Structure 1
Amino acid sequence: MRRLHRPLLVTLVIAAALVPAGPGAAAPPPKPGAFAHPGVLVDKAQLDFARQQVQAGAQPQKAAYDAMKASTYAALSYTPKPRAIVECGSNSNPNNGCSDERNDALAAYTHALLWYIDRDARHAQKAIEIMDAWSAVLQDHTNSNAPLQTGWSGASFSRAGELIKHTYDGSWPQRVRFEKMLRDIYLPEVRNGAGCKNGNWELIMTDAAIGIAVFLDDRAAFDKAISIWRGRLPGYIYQKSDGSLPKAPTTCPMDTREEIVDYWQGQSTFSDGLAQETCRDFGHTGWGLTAATHVAETAWHQGVNLYAEAKDRLTDGYYFHTRLENGAPTPPDLCGGTVKLGLGAVTEIVYNHYHNRLGMPMPTTLRYTESKRPAGANYFFAWETLTHANNPR
């Protein structure tokens, strides 16, 4: 399958591996051992740009801000629903606190963003109220979906905590307790990967792990998250250079064709950009792709260019799926000729990096991205049109 947006110049590849191509594309790499703050998914330059766009009424940020402001997550009357034990079975059944925790984490991040955009301290205090409510009571996540649930919620909580800790100068007396919750309850559940679960699990867990690591200034946890990501991504997005079969993730050793085909949902022919969950459904695939991108974006802000390492895998992966979402016919040798669409609003950040920072043409991904604007909030990703659209900082 021919891809429309592979860069044409070798020099662009070299530039991607070294430094951002566009002016102001990223801050200088932090000193060894230090972390740049705020630096979980978004940095100060991106936040300042988003704020300026909203204040100027510029699109698409203004529409994204308006959607965020109108959401239930943004209400100053929002009331968190913490509990000591969050029990989540397969497909969140039973759902004992699962939806409440995810929603509260998204609400905390939403209020943290609103604080930054509006400079209304009530939103900072609401984010703190939500985070404090959970750190006061949470003891554990249990049942089969516990690692994934921890990843979903930990990703949003780490972003909220990072913004409040490093941009709000008001009082947060229980910050150390919140840090302890992330360190002792969340991080141990997500830091070692997901083994042979479907790949979106491990990528979402790693998204949370790297965010928590930066928030806690934990270099060992950060390095561990990078290692897990590097071992999982080749086992999630196929490239012809891998050989006749996809690679096995480092946390899930497989050495036979039968095992690989079974793990890839029965798909036995492979082409650039196919994902391990493509033939399951595009919804879970979108989660895996965007979680992988979140890790790369946070690493980028910390001076680690995973984007360069994964340029073809990520851009091919998004092209493969957005092409079909845009209406291209399903090849007869793909998933028996039928796919389950529904990728979700997951392309804003990857498009911003490869097109707006590096200048790569990605018309197929752009068409899909624009069709999903403004991106909302769902499970572990939120308001990415606001934070990343046309924002190469």
Structure 2
Amino acid sequence: MNKLKNKVLLGLLFGVLLMGCKEGNGGSGFVPETAIRKPTPPTVIKDGPFAHPGVLNSAAALDHIAQQVDRNDPTRTAAYKKVTDFIASKSYPNSFYAIVAVGSNGHTSPSKSQIRSDSELAYAYALKFAKTADLADANKCIGILNGWASTFKKYEIIDATDNVNQPALETSWTTPTFVAAAEIIRYYKPKGVSANWSATDIKQFSDYLSLVKTYIDKIPNYKNNWNVSAGYALMTIGIFQNNTSVYANGIATLKTVMPLVIGTDGTMPELCDRQDCVHYQYSLTGLTYAAEIASMQEDNSLYSALQNRISAGYDFTRKAYNRTTSCVVCSASSPMFPGIEVALKHYGTGNMQSLRDQQAPFGIPNDNTFLGFTSYTHFKI
């Protein structure tokens, strides 16, 4: 009797299981485990208070764009070519300067030109490593980072005709680009491959950042692109050094200067004040990059600040390129800074789309002031 009861119970149980499987899978039987397993969320690398890499490029985004190039996506591949073409166009540095001489208003020197160009080259090699997982690319980037970190001692002005504060601006430009490269090399592992940047070298680079920060900290309150660049640079130093105080000082600087460089109607006085189509874009690009960095740390306060004031600045830029502002200095051939691609990713407005479509895909700015290649790293991410 017990055997019969057990058979009946087993039969009923099997029937229930079979019906459940048919109902849950359209009558096709059991569902393989791989078919019902939830997707693995993107890896978030945490080191201290920040997610890394934390300067414009996340690990998930770097994975995505590399896969698109591997699949021969034509838009992403064309943008990636900007990276490889830039590398091919540059001679790899075999020496570095202990003293970088800088000048204002276009006054330049070999050391000033090299450190600007080398920051972009280091970033290009970091992006290439993120795509190829080739340690040769990583080592090229590391060589530049280590070269400047171990050699640099100080900034000087070229001569008495230059603004004595120019070193503060110059390092506010090159530092974020170096840090963007360093964040990738330190934290990102394409296809599981580590760049193997040594702890000693990382410490040396961090010490370099502390040294150049002493210049950034002395930037005058010009209430223009200088202060924007300084705030943006401080944020990147804070990210790399996992220093929340330095990072917060950068954000505070930007929130203070934002309403001064972008009016409530989007007007950016630097366009007419400087009578060029470049300097006001320094402010807009620095604010955009900083807002994206903060957003990567789950803080959209810069993007949304003052009722999306950054977006209003791009509306003004559309007017500038349409030549409908009070001063007519921009034209269709005026360089568009690559921050537009990052802003479009966040805001997605029609004005931004039309501006982006004028000159994309983007490489780097002609003057090597702000990092580029945003068509590769940010378009439709």
Normalised TM-score (structure 2) = 0.78
Distance 1:170 1:316, change over 3 A: closer
Q: Find the counterpart in structure 2 of residue 300 from structure 1.
A: 295
Q: Find the counterpart in structure 1 of residue 279 from structure 2.
A: 284
C-alpha distance in 2 between matches for 1:112 and 1:30: 17
Shift in Å at residue 343 of structure 1? 4.9
Q: Does 1:71 align with 2:92?
A: no
Q: Does 1:370 align with 2:363?
A: no
Asked if the contact 1:348–1:385 (Cα under 8 Å) also holds between the matched residues in 2, the reply is yes
Shift in Å at residue 91 of structure 1? 2.5
Distance 1:92 1:178, change over 3 A: farther
C-alpha distance in 2 between matches for 1:287 and 1:294: 11
Distance 1:112 1:182, change over 3 A: same
Q: Find the counterpart in structure 2 of residue 113 from structure 1.
A: 127
Q: How does 1:34-73 map to 2 (within 5 A)?
A: 34-72=49-87
* SS of the residue 1:229 aligns to: helix
Shift in Å at residue 317 of structure 1? 0.7
Asked if the contact 2:185–2:195 (Cα under 8 Å) also holds between the matched residues in 1, the reply is no
Shift in Å at residue 365 of structure 1? 1.6
C-alpha distance in 1 between matches for 2:309 and 2:128: 34
Distance 1:375 1:80, change over 3 A: farther
C-alpha distance in 1 between matches for 2:88 and 2:111: 17
Q: How does 1:167-178 map to 2 (within 5 A)?
A: 167-168=188-189, 169-173=194-198, 174-178=201-205
C-alpha distance in 2 between matches for 1:363 and 1:153: 31
**Match of 1:275, as an amino acid?**
M
**Match of 2:319, as an amino acid?**
R
Which residue among 232, 235, 259 is the counterpart of 2:260? 235
Bigger-Rg structure (1/2):
2
Q: Find the counterpart in structure 1 of residue 267 from structure 2.
A: 274
Shift in Å at residue 227 of structure 1? 0.5
Distance 1:134 1:318, change over 3 A: same
Q: Find the counterpart in structure 2 of residue 203 from structure 1.
A: 228
Q: Find the counterpart in structure 1 of residue 152 from structure 2.
A: 138
Identical pairs, percent: 28
Q: Find the counterpart in structure 2 of residue 19 from structure 1.
A: none
Shift in Å at residue 304 of structure 1? 1.7
Moved more, 32-41 or 229-238: 32-41
**Match of 2:182, as an amino acid?**
G
Q: Find the counterpart in structure 2 of residue 212 from structure 1.
A: 237
Shift in Å at residue 92 of structure 1? 4.5
C-alpha distance in 2 between matches for 1:93 and 1:350: 31
Distance 1:321 1:211, change over 3 A: same
Shift in Å at residue 193 of structure 1? 4.7
Shift in Å at residue 310 of structure 1? 4.5
Deviations 1:338-389 (A, max 9, x none): 334425233100010112xxxxxx2222011012111001222210000000
Distance 1:233 1:80, change over 3 A: farther
Unaligned residue ranges in structure 2 (runs of 5+): 1-38, 158-163
* SS of the residue 1:282 aligns to: coil
Shift in Å at residue 33 of structure 1? 6.6
Shift in Å at residue 96 of structure 1? 4.6
* SS of the residue 1:87 aligns to: strand
Q: Find the counterpart in structure 1 of residue 311 from structure 2.
A: 315
Asked if the contact 1:345–1:369 (Cα under 8 Å) also holds between the matched residues in 2, the reply is no
Distance 1:193 1:84, change over 3 A: same
Asked if the contact 1:191–1:206 (Cα under 8 Å) also holds between the matched residues in 2, the reply is no
Distance 1:352 1:95, change over 3 A: same
Distance 1:125 1:310, change over 3 A: farther
Asked if the contact 1:191–1:224 (Cα under 8 Å) also holds between the matched residues in 2, the reply is no
Normalised TM-score (structure 1) = 0.76
Distance 1:309 1:302, change over 3 A: same
Unaligned residue ranges in structure 1 (runs of 5+): 1-23, 240-271, 356-361
Q: Does 1:345 align with 2:332?
A: no
C-alpha distance in 2 between matches for 1:194 and 1:80: 34
